[in-house]
A = this chain, B = another copy of it.
C-alpha cells in the first residue's frame, strides 16, 4: 500500500465538487492529487519528449481526462516566453485577395503549432493604434500586411519582435519581406499592351497611401516612358468595383475620348471598368478598349469576364511568410531576407494582345 495516508486521496467526485464549489479552474495540482503524483510529473506528461514512465503517464492522463484538465497556455507562456500566437495585421479583408492570404497564413501557422491573433485595420494608417495591443499580447511574431513607418520598424527591432512584412516590400527598409514584384508586374503589362500597338494607356490607381497600387503604377508609367509613349492619364480609386466604373468615366472626360487601354490597380476595379464600358458605354472589349487588372482573384476567371490580369502567387507567398517568420522565431534574427515573387501573366480576353490586322494591312 503506497497510498499516501497523510493526505488521503480524495475521491474523484469529491474533488470535482470541491473545485466547482471554490469556483476555481482545474490545475495541474488537482490532477496530481487525483493521480497520486507530484505536480511536476503532471507537467512533464504534457510536454512532448519529457521523461515519464509509462505507468505514471497513464495514471496522469486518466486523471486529467476525468477532471477535464487542459494546461493553461497563459501560465505556460509566462515561463517559456512563448505564447504560440502570431499577430496578423491586415488592412482590409474586403479586398478579395486578402481572405485567401489570411486563410493560407492561418493554415500554415497552425501547422507549426501556433495560432493567428487577428488585427484588422479600417485604414492602413491605423496601424499605430494596434501596435500597442500587439506588444501586450506578447505574440511570438508578427506578419503585417500593411505599410510600416521607419519608426515602427525600429520599435519592432528594439523589442526584438520577429516581423515579416507581407506584400509591402518597401525597398529601403531593412525588414524581412515577402512580396510580389508589383513594379515589375506593371512594367510587364505595359510591355504586352504596347507590343500589341496600344498607345493611349490610362491607369486607375489605388488610394494614395497604398504602396501596392503605387508600385504597379510606377512600373507601368516607367515602361511607357521608356518606350516613348505618351504619359498615362492617372485617376485614383479605392480598389473597389465602383471605382473602376468611375475611373473609366473620369479618364474619358479627362482625355476627351476612349483610351486604347486601361490598366486597373486591382481586378475588382478592372471588372467595374469592364462592366461600365460594356453595359453603360456599349463599348466592345477588347475590340474598342482593352482592360487589364492585377491579382487574378477568383471572379476574374469567370466566363463573363475572363480578365487579362497578373496572378500573384498568394499561396506561395503565404507559405513563404509563415516559414520565414517561423525561422525568425526559432533561429533568432539573421540577415534581413526579402523574398520577391513574380506575377504570372494571365492572357484572358479583355485586352487585345496582337496588333490589329487591319492596321498592318492598311500600312
Question: Interface residues, chain A, CB within 8 Å of chain B?
Answer: 25, 68, 70-75, 77-78, 81, 83, 85, 88, 92-94, 98-100, 102-103, 106-107, 110, 115-120, 122, 132-133, 135-138, 155, 158-159, 241, 271-272, 275-276, 278-280, 298-299, 301-305
In the assembled complex, 21 residue pairs joining A and B whose CB atoms fall closer than 8 Å, in A order, are: A68-B159, A72-B138, A73-B138, A74-B75, A74-B77, A74-B78, A75-B78, A88-B118, A93-B103, A93-B106, A102-B118, A106-B119, A115-B119, A115-B133, A117-B118, A241-B302, A272-B302, A275-B302, A275-B303, A275-B304, A280-B303
A287 to chain B, nearest CB (A): 17
A159 to B107 alpha-carbon distance, docked (Å): 26
Copies of the chain in the assembly: 2
B residues within 8 A CB of A155?
68
A72 to chain B, nearest CB (A): 6
The reply to whether A71 and B275 form a contact with Cβ atoms under 8 Å apart is no
* Cβ 8 A contact of A103, one of B81, B83, B120, B272: B120
B residues within 8 A CB of A275?
302-304
A305 to B241 alpha-carbon distance, docked (Å): 13
The reply to whether A93 and B99 form a contact with Cβ atoms under 8 Å apart is yes
Smallest CB-CB A-B distances: 7 pairs:
A99-B99, A275-B303, A93-B103, A70-B135, A106-B120, A116-B118, A304-B304
A10 to B278 alpha-carbon distance, docked (Å): 73
B residues within 8 A CB of A25?
81
The reply to whether A70 and B299 form a contact with Cβ atoms under 8 Å apart is no
B residues within 8 A CB of A71?
136
A71 to B78 alpha-carbon distance, docked (Å): 12
